[in-house]
Amino acid sequence: MATKMEVLISRDTIAEGVARIGQEISRDFAGESVMLVGVLKGACLFLSDLARQIELDATFDFIAVRSYGNRKESAGEVQLIKDVTTPLEDKNVVLVEDILDTGLTFTFLRKLLLARKPRVLKLAALLDKPSRRLMPIEADYVGFKIPDKFVVGYGLDYAERFRNLPDICVFSEDAGK
């Protein structure tokens, strides 16, 4: 797909950030196993690349949420639409998200997953927009802090489009036509 959108983080830089997070997770859980829980759909490309940078015994599961609001703002209400299918009790769980924005999604999922009594729960976000935070939450692993711009690509969408762009781009209405 051709796009005229401005590249914010190139595929090579993304790969470096993903490798760095993989090393951090491998070091933090050395000698143990981890369960990666990806938040559908945005985190699926990040999870699949990250998993290959983790030098530990790893399993995957997926969870899906819906946040109400318009296309570019998340609106305060988060609803679970697909739960994980494996027990988390006593596991080292890493919740894998595409982007930490207001923090509403992470806050909701952290509470939900902590109730399942994992041994450890860590949060990994490829992108972080700290200027937009509404909830007091930070990720344990962050790929890149970005300014308050709406981005697409590498899993991130605008109205379900552009998830397959290999670079992370600043969304512009014109370029999407």
CB neighbourhood size of 168 (10 A): 27
Give the per-residue contact string, 81-110, with ligand IMP (x = CB under 6 A; - = no): ----------------xxxxxxxxxx----
150 in contact with ligand IMP (CB under 6 A): yes
CB nearer to ligand IMP: pick between 74 and 92: 74
The torsion region of residue 40 among left (phi > 0), alpha (psi -120 to 50) and beta comes to: beta
How far apart CA 23 and CA 157 sit, in angstroms, is 27
How far apart CA 36 and CA 51 sit, in angstroms, is 8
67 in contact with ligand IMP (CB under 6 A): yes
CB nearer to ligand IMP: pick between 47 and 99: 99
Out of 101, 140, 148, 174, the active site residue is 101
How far apart CA 32 and CA 17 sit, in angstroms, is 23
Which chain residues interact with ligand IMP by CB under 6 A? 42, 67, 74, 97-106, 150-152, 156
